[in-house]
């Protein structure tokens, strides 16, 4: 699978809420009440990632989790990254603002 160009990425980002094009990746940050909720989310994402055989970079800062999706083998963002982003959003919509 080949990397998408900037126009293709921008087009596919439009229907996604909260995701952004950051460097070579799609990124999104979630905020939770506490560390426990953040880790529950990360573990849920791990199940989806394993099923898809596509693993995000994960940064956890107490109650904040940032996921970065990119296809290392393609050197950028592919349709596979967007598919996983949509799946993550379907299972874990953004929590309400606190």
Chain centroid to CA 68: 5
For residue 74, the model assigns a pLDDT of 87
Could you give the CA distance from residue 2 to residue 56 in angstroms, rounded to a whole number? 18
Measure Cα distances from 67 to 17, 84, 91 in Å: 14, 11, 15
**Three-state SS at 73:** coil
Q: Could you give the domains of the chain?
A: 6-91 (3.30.1360.20)
Could you give the CA distance from residue 92 to residue 85 in angstroms, rounded to a whole number? 10
Could you give the CA distance from residue 68 to residue 24 in angstroms, rounded to a whole number? 9
pLDDT one-digit tens code per residue, 13-70: 999 989 999 999 999 999 999 999 999 999 999 999 999 999 999 999 999 999 999 9
pLDDT one-digit tens code per residue, 62-93: 999 999 999 988 889 999 999 999 999 998 87
For residue 94, the model assigns a pLDDT of 62
For residue 91, the model assigns a pLDDT of 87
């Amino acid at each position: 699978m080949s990397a998408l160009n900037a126009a293709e990425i921008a087009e596919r980002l439009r229907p996604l809420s909260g995701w952004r094009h950051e460097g070579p990746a799609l990124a999104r940050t979630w905020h939770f009440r506490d560390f426990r909720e953040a880790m529950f989310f990360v573990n849920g994402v791990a199940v989806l990632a394993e099923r898809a055989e596509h693993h995000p970079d994960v940064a956890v800062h107490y109650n904040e989790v940032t996921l970065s999706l990119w296809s290392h083998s393609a050197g950028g963002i592919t349709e596979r990254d967007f598919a996983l982003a949509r799946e993550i959003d379907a299972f874990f919509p953004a929590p309400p603002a606190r």
